[in-house]
Amino acid sequence: MTPGQTPATPTQEAVPVIESEQLTSSSARLYGSANELCAQACARVLAEGRAAAPRGLPTREVLGSSLWLTAPRARLVDLPPHRVINPAFAVAETLWILSGSGEAWIHEFNGSLAAYVGDGPPHGAYGPRLRAWAGIDQFDQVRRLLLDDPDTRRAVLTIFDPARDLADERDIPCTLGHRFYLREGVLHMVTSMRSQDVWRGLPYDMFAATVLLELMAGWVGARAGRWQHQVDSLHLYAPEFNAARQVAATAGQATDPATRPMGALAVPWEGFDAWVAQVIAGERVGDPAWDDLADVMASFRLWRRGDRDAARSRAGGPWVMAAALTRWYHRAVGRSAAKAAS
């Protein structure tokens, strides 16, 4: 049979049910939280990685990794004191992607971003590629595919564009795309990356991808399953080796409260864009999990303007991301004080 040819209809026979656990190969590495996955990734690269120096920058890398996160809502990496990400940037970047934006407002949430992508709108922004590729909203297209044919193998979101990305650009997408598989009422997601910086990129990429998985699951009436991360070059840069060793030492340890799952994120497809726009603006929408994200957006803007008391007040809720941002503020003040005293 030639590729693409439709096979003859077989005689009816019993089809064995494949349990969700069988979707994972015996060689895959499963992790119950983003903290555990990040710590184990550091440990693996340091133990098994080989030297490579793309663009003259020394790294250690492992070629060909498959990492599975079994609890996608336990998506926040917070491993103090050695790896503490900026929760506001994690939230802002995720909303920026979901909204389809490629605008430069994302720089407000990460002052070092310009060093990697320049000062203007990033060339490699994922949002426009996902939401408006040649006029196609890939979110909606994949959603419809899964609703029309739940067993489809064609639910693919594409990010890398050879027409744009094979040139010598400064900011080339590391993520090639995402695939979705709906089996037994559970939606699983596979992300493929050509390159993954464990230290600077993985915590944020994992956060955004698992939010997308959770939302897509809701849009097709499924439960969010496992997120599989397929990485060609899983690497650490030399300046992060020492800190990564400290994080690797925590591998297998539970870190409270960062392993606490976020609240469930759900919103109907109809009205999704308006909903996300409100959250980006820092406006509460009446749903605790989304209001947590809105509070983070509003609080960080206040912090950047120097209104520290108002920022702390807005991030004073009990939810995962606002609480993480409060801890981040405390650490930021401590670092500033230590720097001033030195």
Residues 277-289: tens digit of each pLDDT: 999 999 999 999 9
Q: Place 2 in a pLDDT band, splitting at 50, 70 and 90.
A: very low
Following DSSP, what letter does each residue of 197-243 receive, concatenated?
Answer: ETTTTHHHHHHHHHHHHHHHHHHTT-EEEEEEEEEEEEEEEGGGHHH
Q: Place 30 in a pLDDT band, splitting at 50, 70 and 90.
A: confident
Residues 214-256: tens digit of each pLDDT: 999 999 999 999 999 999 999 999 999 999 999 999 876 655 4
Residues 309-331: tens digit of each pLDDT: 999 999 998 899 999 999 999 99
Task: Based on the fold, state whether residues 312 and 239 are members of the same structural domain.
Answer: no
Task: Based on the fold, state whether residues 67 and 185 are members of the same structural domain.
Answer: yes
> Where a domain ends, among 252, 281, 310?
252
Following DSSP, what letter does each residue of 245-277 receive, concatenated?
Answer: HHHHTTTT---TTTTSPPPPP---STTHHHHHH
Antiparallel, parallel or unpaired: β 78-79 and 156-158: unpaired
Within-domain flag for 7: no
Following DSSP, what letter does each residue of 10-28 receive, concatenated?
Answer: PPP---PPPPGGGGS-TT-
Q: Place 121 in a pLDDT band, splitting at 50, 70 and 90.
A: confident
Task: Based on the fold, state whether residues 241 and 268 are members of the same structural domain.
Answer: no
Q: Place 4 in a pLDDT band, splitting at 50, 70 and 90.
A: very low
Q: What percent of the chain has pLDDT over 70?
A: 87
> Where a domain ends, among 233, 252, 271?
252
Task: Based on the fold, state whether residues 268 and 295 are members of the same structural domain.
Answer: yes
Task: Examine the pLDDT at 24 and tell me if it is beyond 90.
Answer: no
Task: Based on the fold, state whether residues 238 and 145 are members of the same structural domain.
Answer: yes
Within-domain flag for 305: yes
Q: Which domain holds residue 132?
A: 30-84+110-252
Number of domains in the chain: 2
CA distances to 88, 105, 107, 113 from 102, rounded to whole Å, are: 18, 9, 11, 14
Within-domain flag for 96: no
Task: Based on the fold, state whether residues 148 and 70 are members of the same structural domain.
Answer: yes
Structure tokens at 64: 């060909």
Helix then strand count (H, E) for the chain reads 12, 9
**Distance from C-alpha of 91 to C-alpha of 89, rounded to nearest angstrom:** 5
Task: Based on the fold, state whether residues 160 and 60 are members of the same structural domain.
Answer: yes
> Where a domain ends, among 252, 272, 291?
252
CATH number for 220: 3.30.572.10
Task: Based on the fold, state whether residues 312 and 174 are members of the same structural domain.
Answer: no
**Distance from C-alpha of 175 to C-alpha of 205, rounded to nearest angstrom:** 9
Q: Please compute, for residue 147, the number of CA atoms within 13 A of its CA located in the half-sphere on the CB side.
A: 12
Task: Based on the fold, state whether residues 242 and 272 are members of the same structural domain.
Answer: no
Q: Are 311 and 329 in contact (CB under 8 A)?
A: yes
Which among 303, 308, 307, 271 is positioned nearest to 286, based on CA atoms?
Answer: 271
Task: Based on the fold, state whether residues 64 and 124 are members of the same structural domain.
Answer: yes
Structure tokens at 236: 């650490």
Q: Place 21 in a pLDDT band, splitting at 50, 70 and 90.
A: very low
Task: Examine the pLDDT at 35 and tell me if it is beyond 50.
Answer: yes
Q: Place 199 in a pLDDT band, splitting at 50, 70 and 90.
A: very high
Within-domain flag for 18: no
Residues 130-162: tens digit of each pLDDT: 999 999 999 999 999 999 999 999 999 999 999
Average pLDDT over residues 29-50: 93
Average pLDDT over residues 190-202: 98
User: Cis omega before residue 257 (within 30°)?
Assistant: yes
Which pTM was predicted? Answer: 0.89
Q: In sequence order, which residues have a C-beta less than 8 Å from that of residue 31 and are 6 or more positions away?
A: 37, 40, 67, 68, 69, 70
pLDDT value of position 302: 98
Task: Examine the pLDDT at 117 and tell me if it is beyond 50.
Answer: yes
Average pLDDT over residues 177-191: 99
Q: What percent of the chain has pLDDT over 90?
A: 74
Task: Examine the pLDDT at 114 and tell me if it is beyond 80.
Answer: no
Which among 139, 114, 112, 108 is positioned nearest to 126, based on CA atoms?
Answer: 139
Task: Based on the fold, state whether residues 199 and 71 are members of the same structural domain.
Answer: yes
pLDDT value of position 13: 40
Within-domain flag for 24: no
Task: Examine the pLDDT at 77 and tell me if it is beyond 90.
Answer: yes
Task: Based on the fold, state whether residues 179 and 275 are members of the same structural domain.
Answer: no
pLDDT value of position 118: 64
